[in-house]
A and B are shown apart, each in its own frame.
Chain A
Amino acid sequence: MSDSNIEERVKKIVVEHLGVEEEKVANDASFIDDLGADSLDTVELVMAFEEEFGVEIPDDAAETILTVGDAVRFLGKSTA
């Protein structure tokens, strides 16, 4: 899977779940600080990533996914 494809899918999920504008979903945007997510949102996002990419994201890995770019990188590795 190409990285840009992963990035597109990640951003689509973020836009849908957090109801934010697409322009705001930059790679370095933090879910909590920049995109207004609360802790429940981040749990929902991780579950949505798991569903979309058919992977399991363990809790300790989930804790390191703080930005859009973190998610793209993690999913790029785990679906490679």
Chain B
Amino acid sequence: MFSLQNRRALVTGASGGIGSAIAQGLHAQGATVALSGTRQEALAALAEKLGERTHILAADLADAEAVDALVGRAEEAMGGLDILVNNAGLTRDGLSMRMSDADWEIVIKVNLEAAFRLSRAALRSMMRQRFGRIIGITSVVGVTGNPGQANYAASKAGMIGMSKALAQEVATRSVTVNCVAPGFIESAMTDAINDKLRESILAKIPAARLGRGEEIAAAVVYLASDEAAYVTGQTLHVNGGMAMI
């Protein structure tokens, strides 16, 4: 079950913690993976670790032109595209009353608009080949909200709504569109949290621990697989029980 042999996947944010785990998970199931991000060295290191069936496609997702070109580059490198994982994301936190236009715009642009542009481009060949998997990495915050993250929560909630609309548009073509919503996942960011804050976070998580990137990757592998063909427009929450929604 869950083989991705002969599947071709593009993963954005593959230079980051969760994205690299996703790329590794897809690759381990047999997929060819195109790794995207802005940090060349991180992408190259991951490609080296994975070995064959990898391609490096650097792109700045804040640049609409680069975004619009990325799917075409992936299709050219791999001979097509079956799986798109919109994982790249950033935060620019601050209370709304003090949030700058720039902080609002960049988060919407990279987290939401780039995901739409990439999905739109990917759908062309997915529709034609009558197979496709589009998976967005959203966040528990997109459903629950979080003070200081109006921009981020909007982008992540937007991704869920967008995915539901896309899912309905293309379902007859065996293209599914779903989201995975991580809770708190171990990362460079969460490693830097002080003990007191860590304790207060853990108190809200029934599993009493942070999640791991591989646990997000496993959800992505499932949604990308043939076995998940009848699952579309859904958001799979992977959060240790911190929000049951």
B124 adjacent to A40 (CB under 8 Å) = no
CA distance A38 to B171 in the complex (A): 13
B173 at interface by CB-CB < 8 Å: yes
Q: Tell me the A35-72 residues at the B interface (CB within 8 Å).
A: 38, 40, 44, 47
Give bound CA distance, A12 to B170, whole Å: 24
Identify whether the interface residues of B are mostly helix, strand, loop, or mixed: helix
Q: How large is the interface on A (under 10, 10 to 19, 20 to 34, 35 or more residues)?
A: under 10
Q: Do B128 and A44 touch across chains, with their CB atoms under 8 A apart? A: yes
Q: Are A40 and B128 in contact (CB under 8 A)?
A: no
Output the nearest chain A residue to B169 by Cβ-Cβ distance.
A40
Is residue B172 contacting chain A, with contact meaning CB distance below 8 A? yes
Q: How far is the CB of A48 from chain B (nearest CB, A)?
A: 9
Question: How far apart are the CA atoms of A47 and B170 in the complex, in Å?
Answer: 16
B127 interface residue (CB < 8 Å to A): yes
The reply to whether B127 and A38 contact each other, CB–CB distance below 8 Å, is: no
Binary CB contact string for chain B from 87 to 124 against chain A (1 if under 8 A, 0 otherwise): 00000000000000000000000000000000000001
B94 to chain A, nearest CB (A): 39
For A40, the chain B residues whose CB sits under 8 A away are: 127, 169-170, 172-173
Nearest CB of chain A from residue B123's CB, rounded to whole Å:
10
Residues of B bordering A, CB below 8 Å:
124, 127-128, 169-170, 172-173
